């Protein structure tokens, strides 16, 4: 039984849609590592971050920016940052130390010699040990501050950021190593000093997690990098002060340029940041001027390098580093959705599929938002959206093609039992859910047409010859019945049964039944005459033609119409007493005659053409009926018994 099911049309239909969508899903899953797919996924994640990022930046991180004002010749320290006297930074350290800053990070590489400035800066570093200086890795080599500064007791932190293939900075490394040494990132060094974690305790990275010395676990990407959870646009950090505003009038070097201005009021315009701004904070010092060139694209737009490091530090402080969905999980989701769409395609309901696709897209976005808000997980929304956008329309196209093919097959099959007009009506009624095939009570007209000399033919001829003759005549009869939109219910040996007014309604079903039966018997008579004429024209050479005659019975009344049989094999027919009566009338009718039940005769009295041909036979006792039944007859004069050349009568009793 299972093997037969696998070979059936139903099994092929069950497997077709899921198999096709599985292959499409596997293809989409294979693209998760492609650049185009990855860029789309990153972009969607960026939009999610922009819409649902942290509204309140971390107040523990402050930036002191070297802005355009500080780089001006009039009110600042000079246009070239490399030419600044590093005494400025020494005074800044002293000022921030006095203000109560806990950690100071310089996102500036002090590579060249600055003589007196380096000496002053080194002295400041000795007095405040919680300072981190910038280190840059390039081509496997580290670029350090000058030896005098590097040996002054300051900590070193890596300033490199990682730029994704779409030129956006989303992550930074925890540390970078070459053959001889390694350095932690500025952000990691900053939180280590802020939390006063021992320098000798390393960050342990295992199974996509970084375990900090204080036990805090931070998710990392596949390459052990930190995914930054940026704050909202224009609110990267709680406070960002200009270095000129911070130093104010306390920096003598600041006055060297300001004093040269002709306007005496110029220094008064410089605003200072209150000391409370820096108390117990992590203070980043770095370029925030466009001229510095340290500008990068981020999910939140353009940011200076120092702002990126500040956001990375805030991410570590909050413990809210982002976590990317693994490629395995992405592919599983894509393939599962594709197969699910294939299974939905089996329902053959395009509207349901479209609604599922719409809810699926909405659900994927909601899941991505919830995953970000609850677990800081970046789900791959590109994969599901591509799946719905590619697999969904593919299923709709396949549904349409399969439906067209099946409709064509159904029309072909129906044309063998009903007219093309009826088959189209059946399909339209089915599409509108107006077709009831399970069984319904309705008034119908039932026709039986039976061969009158079938027993003699079966006894005297070979079976294949008998089948040829029966099929020839039944083909002629079926063609005429279908012309009048009758439904061929079944063939039983030499007998044909047709239904009118089921499954499609016909207000004139009785008249159609009578006209169709008359046309069928007249067609039989025409065929018989043509065969005899052809035989005569050949000079009666060969075996004489074997001819047959038919009688018919028609009855009208209420019956139950529907599918009869099992779930594996069934037939559309009608059941009821009127069916039995129609069969009995057919058996009683002589060759060339049509017997009508009283209900059929009453239904066609308005048809003048028919009523003139109807004669009353009188009450007849039918098998299974207690009382005689009034019967009416239409006798076709051209369909009288025909004798074969051998003299055998074709009007013998029916089988």
pLDDT score at 261? 34
Give yes or no for a contact between 243 and 251, defined as CB atoms under 8 angstroms apart. Answer: no
Residue 167: pLDDT above 50? yes
Instruction: Quick: pLDDT tens for 567-609.
Output: 556 677 889 999 999 999 999 999 999 999 999 999 998 887 8
Taking the C-alpha atoms of residue 585 and residue 621, their distance in angstroms, rounded to an integer, is 10
Q: Which of 321, 320, 323, 289 is nearest to 306 (CA)?
A: 289
Write out the DSSP string of 61-91.
Answer: EEEEEE-TTTT-TTTSS-S-GGGS-THHHHH
Q: Name the burial class of residue 409, with classes exposed (0-12), middle (13-18) and buried (19+) by CB atoms within 10 angstroms of its CB.
A: exposed
Which among 115, 118, 134 is positioned nearest to 126, based on CA atoms?
A: 118
pLDDT of amino acid 222: 85
Per-residue HEC secondary structure of 588-645 comes to: HCCCCEEEECHHHHHHCCCCHHHHCCEEEEEEECCCCCCCCEEEEEEECHHHCCCECC
**Helix axes 327-345 and 350-375, enclosed angle (nearest 10):** 160
Q: How much is the average pLDDT of 513-529?
A: 94
- Tens digit of pLDDT for each residue in 398-435? 888 887 877 777 667 666 655 566 666 666 666 665 55
Instruction: Assess contact for 448 and 553: CB atoms under 8 A.
Output: yes
Cβ-Cβ contacts under 8 Å for 602 (sequence gap 6 or more): none
How many helices (H) and strands (E) in the chain?
20, 27
pLDDT digits (tens, 9 = 90+) for 243-280: 888 887 444 444 333 333 323 333 333 345 788 889 99
pLDDT at 645 over 60: no
pLDDT at 653: 39
Percent above pLDDT 90 for the chain: 42
What per-residue confidence (pLDDT) applies to 265? 31
> How far is residue 321's CA from residue 370's CA, in Å, rounded to a whole number?
16
Helix H or strand E segment including 396: helix 382-414
Q: What's the rounded mean pLDDT across residues 443-470?
A: 89
The secondary element (H helix, E strand) that includes residue 562 is strand 550-565
Q: Are 549 and 520 in contact (CB under 8 A)?
A: no
pLDDT at 632 over 90: yes
Per-position DSSP letters for 9-33, written without gaps between them = HHHHHHHHHHHHHHHHHHHHHHGGG
CA distance 342 to 395: 7
User: What pLDDT does 249 receive?
Assistant: 41
> What whole-number distance in Å separates Cα of residue 393 and Cα of residue 483?
41
CB under 8 A, 24+ apart: contacts of 291-295: 291/68, 291/71, 291/79, 292/66, 292/71, 292/81, 294/107
SS3 content of the chain, % helix, strand, coil (to 5): 45, 20, 35
Q: Is the peptide bond before 451 cis (omega within 30 degrees of 0)?
A: no
Read out DSSP for 423-468?
A: HHHHHHHHHTT----S-EEEEEEEEEEEESSHHHHHHHS-HHHHHH
Query: With 80 as the cut, is the pLDDT of residue 381 above it?
Result: yes
Q: What is the mean pLDDT of the chain?
A: 82
Residue that wins the pLDDT comparison between 201 and 94: 94
Region 187-204: mean pLDDT is 88
Contacts of 611 (CB under 8 A, 6+ apart): 604, 605
pLDDT of residue 133: 94
CA angle 44, 47, 48 (to 5 degrees): 90
Q: How far apart are CA 598 and CA 555, in angstroms?
A: 8
pLDDT tops 70 at residue 139: yes
pLDDT band at 440 (very low <50, low <70, confident <90, very high): confident
The percent of residues above 70 in pLDDT, for the chain, comes to: 83
Residue 175 has pLDDT above 90, yes or no: no
Instruction: Work out the angle at residue 180's Cα, subtended by the Cα atoms of residues 177 and 184, and round it to the nearest 5 degrees.
Output: 30
3-state SS assignment for residue 489:
strand
Please report the sign of the dihedral spanned by the C-alpha atoms of residue 300, residue 302, residue 307, residue 310: positive
- Predicted confidence band at 473 (pLDDT cuts at 50, 70, 90)? very high
Closest residue by Cα to residue 282 from 63, 97, 94, 103: 103
Please tell me whether the overall predicted TM-score, pTM, comes out greater than 0.85 for this model.
no
Pairing assessment for the beta strands 217-219 and 209-211 based on DSSP bridges: antiparallel
At 518 the pLDDT is 95
Nearest alpha-carbon partner for 611 in 629, 593, 596: 596
Do the Cβ atoms of 570 and 602 come closer than 8 Å?
Answer: no
Q: How far is CA 529 from CA 320, 535, 590, in A?
A: 97, 10, 19
Question: Mean per-residue pLDDT for 439-458?
Answer: 88
Interval 33-67: pLDDT, tens: 899 999 999 999 998 888 887 656 788 999 998 88
Q: How confident is the model at residue 636 (pLDDT cuts 50, 70, 90)?
A: confident
Tell me if 79 sits within 8 A of 72, measured CB to CB: yes
Both tokens assigned to 158: 């890596």
Q: What angle separates helix 382-414 from helix 420-431, to the nearest 10 degrees?
A: 150
Q: Where are the beta strands (DSSP E) in 292-427?
A: 295-298, 301-304, 323-324, 377-378
More confident residue, 269 or 454: 454
How confident is the model at residue 186, as a pLDDT?
94
């Amino acid at each position: 039984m299972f093997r037969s099911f696998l070979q059936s049309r139903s099994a092929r239909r069950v497997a077709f849609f899921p198999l096709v969508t599985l292959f499409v899903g596997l293809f989409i899953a294979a693209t998760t590592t492609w650049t185009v797919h990855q860029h789309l996924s990153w972009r969607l994640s960026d939009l999610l971050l922009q819409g649902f990022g942290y509204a309140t930046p971390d107040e523990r991180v402050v930036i002191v920016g070297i802005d355009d004002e500080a780089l001006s010749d009039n009110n600042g320290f000079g246009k070239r940052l490399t030419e600044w006297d590093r005494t400025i930074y020494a005074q800044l350290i002293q000022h921030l130390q006095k203000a109560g800053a806990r950690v100071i990070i310089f996102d500036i590489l002090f590579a060249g010699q600055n003589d007196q400035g380096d000496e002053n800066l080194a002295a400041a570093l000795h007095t405040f040990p919680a300072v981190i200086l910038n280190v840059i890795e390039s081509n496997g080599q580290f670029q350090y501050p000058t030896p005098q500064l590097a040996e002054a007791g300051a900590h070193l932190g890596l300033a490199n950021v990682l730029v994704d293939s779409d030129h956006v900075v989303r992550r930074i490394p925890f540390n970078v190593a070459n053959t001889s040494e390694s350095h932690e990132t500025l952000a990691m060094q900053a939180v280590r000093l802020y939390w006063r974690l021992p320098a000798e305790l390393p960050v342990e990275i295992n199974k996509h997690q970084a375990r900090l010395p204080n036990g805090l676990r931070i998710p990392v990407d596949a390459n052990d990098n930190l995914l930054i959870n940026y704050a909202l646009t224009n609110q990267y950090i709680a406070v960002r002060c200009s270095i000129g505003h911070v130093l104010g009038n306390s920096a003598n070097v600041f006055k060297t340029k300001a004093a040269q201005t002709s306007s005496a009021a110029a220094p008064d315009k410089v605003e200072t940041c209150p000391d409370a701004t820096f108390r117990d904070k992590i203070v980043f010092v770095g370029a925030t001027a466009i001229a510095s060139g340290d500008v990068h694209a981020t999910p939140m737009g353009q940011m200076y390098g120092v702002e990126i490091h500040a956001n990375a530090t805030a991410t570590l402080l909050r413990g809210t580093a982002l976590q990317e969905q693994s490629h395995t999980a992405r592919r599983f989701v894509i393939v599962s959705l594709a197969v699910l769409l294939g299974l939905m395609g089996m329902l053959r309901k395009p509207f349901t599929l479209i609604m599922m696709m719409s809810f699926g897209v909405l659900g994927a976005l909601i899941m991505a938002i919830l995953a970000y808000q609850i677990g800081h997980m970046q789900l791959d929304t590109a994969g599901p959206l591509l799946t719905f956008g590619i697999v969904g329309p593919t299923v709709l196209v396949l549904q349409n093609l399969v439906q067209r093919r099946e409709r064509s097959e159904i029309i072909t099959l129906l044309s063998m039992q009903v007219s093309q007009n009826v088959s189209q009506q059946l399909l339209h009624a089915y599409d509108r859910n107006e077709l009831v095939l399970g069984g319904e009570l309705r008034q119908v007209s039932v026709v039986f047409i039976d061969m009158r000399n079938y027993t003699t033919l079966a006894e005297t001829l070979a079976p294949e010859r008998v089948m040829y003759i029966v099929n020839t005549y039944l083909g002629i009869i079926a063609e005429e019945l279908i012309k009048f939109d009758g439904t061929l219910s079944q063939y039983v040996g030499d007998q044909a049964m047709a239904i009118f007014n089921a499954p499609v309604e016909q207000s004139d079903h009785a008249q159609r039944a009578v006209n169709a039966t008359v046309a069928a018997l007249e067609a039989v008579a025409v065929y018989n005459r043509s065969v005899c004429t052809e035989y005569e024209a050949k000079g009666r050479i060969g075996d004489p033609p074997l001819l047959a005659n038919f009688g018919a019975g028609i009855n009208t009344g209420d019956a139950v119409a529907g599918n009869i049989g099992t779930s594996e094999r069934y037939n559309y027919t009608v059941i009821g007493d009127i069916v039995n009566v129609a069969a009995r009338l057919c058996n009683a009718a002589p060759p060339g005659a049509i017997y009508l039940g009283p209900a059929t005769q009453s239904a066609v009295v308005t048809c003048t053409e028919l009523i003139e041909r109807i004669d009353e036979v009188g009450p007849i006792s039918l098998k299974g009926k207690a009382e005689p039944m009034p019967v009416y007859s239409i006798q076709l004069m051209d369909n009288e018994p025909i004798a074969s050349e051998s003299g055998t009568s074709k009007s013998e009793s029916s089988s």
